[in-house]
Amino acid sequence: MKAEPTADSGGMHYLDTLPRRWISTYLPLGVFLIVLLFPFYWMAMTSFKPNEELVSRSANPFWILKPTLAHFRKLLFDTEYPQWLLNTLLVSVVATTLSLVASVFAAYAIERLRFRGSRSVGLAIFLAYLVPPSILFIPLATIIFQLGLFDSRFALILSYPTFLVPFSTWLLMGYFRSIPYELEECALIDGATRWQILTKIVLPLAVPGLISAGIFSFTLSWNEFIYALTFVSSSETKTVPVGVITELVEGDVYHWGALMAGALLGSLPVAVLYSFFVEYYVSGMTGAVKE
């Protein structure tokens, strides 16, 4: 007796013909890619365009006739951009490391130790992430000034975990929840301590979640603007997002070529990071929402 075709198999046969694949898959993906990548294309074009083409109405706005590196030369040699890049990298790496350490301990304690009120604590930590930074930077500025950390990289390193730890903790809580409890119970029976369980069992199994939290924290730290604008004033301690905006805009004069060159160079480290760890990032995000 011939089996009846299921609804799922019928749905897969819908894409057998080329016109249907074009309408259902290729055209939507093409439109999505154009909309997604066009800002980066425009940014790259502006970075290599000479000033004459940037201000000319007769020049082709979507192509370069005479490419130039003058904007990159101005950015790298006439400004403190290399120092801004170093500051951003240092602050992002240290703040991400501190946030991951704190988030691992918090998420493990909430999810694996099973104390009374752990769910409420986890919910409170996540709700802390929803507080807008535009509200927190005013009291944080007072604390930073009283501690004598104003206009220093330590001000950013200590303030960034306030918005990195809550989400990283929530993300790792979801991933720790997917690890079977039987592994810990067997380890406890064999005489393992909680520290050994965390370092030798839980963390190796949670590597995708750790990478996801690390990429997320690094990206937020790299692109953060409000705290960096408030807590840092001197040019040599600025980060890339603040330095590019404040140093390359003089009154009503916008140095568009150098601005786009700075944005292009500043986006490359994050793009490279995502390209290497995108599979771990996706799997980590999937584990965070899995029950």
What's the pTM?
0.81
The verdict on 142 and 216 lying in the same domain is yes
- Whether residues 64 and 204 fall in one domain: no
Residue 177 lies in a domain: yes
Domain end marker among 68, 87, 116: 68
200 within 8 A of 257, measured Cβ to Cβ: no
Residues 58 and 101 grouped into a single domain: no
Q: Residue 88 domain-assigned?
A: yes
24 and 50: one domain?
yes
Domain count, the chain: 2
Mind listing the pLDDT tens digit for each residue in 174-220?
888 888 888 888 888 888 888 888 888 888 888 888 888 898 899 99
User: Mean pLDDT over all residues of the chain?
Assistant: 83
Q: Are residues 31 and 101 in the same domain?
A: no
Is the same domain home to 217 and 271?
yes
Within a domain: residue 193? yes
Indicate if 119 and 244 belong to the same structural domain.
yes
Can you give the pLDDT at residue 15? 64
Question: Could you give the residue ranges of the DSSP H alpha helices within 49-160?
Answer: 51-55, 70-77, 81-112, 118-129, 133-146, 153-159
Say yes or no: 259 and 115 in one domain: yes
pLDDT exceeds cutoff 80 at 162: yes
Residues 135-144 pLDDT 10s: 888 888 888 8
pLDDT tens by residue, 88-118 = 999 999 999 999 999 999 998 888 887 777 7
Q: CATH number for the domain including 188?
A: 1.10.3720.10
Residues 166 and 99 in one domain: yes
Q: Do both 203 and 232 map to the same domain?
A: yes
Q: Assess whether 168 and 269 both reside in one domain.
A: yes
Residue 249 lies in a domain: yes
Task: Give the residue among 164, 210, 123, 171 at the shortest CA–CA distance from 288.
Answer: 171
Where does a domain end: 45, 68, 91?
68
> Is residue 1 domain-resident?
no
In this prediction, residue 280 carries a pLDDT of 62
* CA–CA distance, 258 with 200 (Å, rounded to integer): 48
Range of the domain at 27: 7-68
The token duo for 266 is 């500043």
Asked if the structure places residue 2 within a domain, the reply is no
Residue 62 is assigned to a structural domain of this protein? yes
- Checking if the pLDDT of 12 tops 60, the result is no
Contacts of 77 (CB under 8 A, 6+ apart): none
If asked whether residues 184 and 282 sit together in one domain, one would say: yes
The answer to whether residue 280 sits within a structural domain is: yes
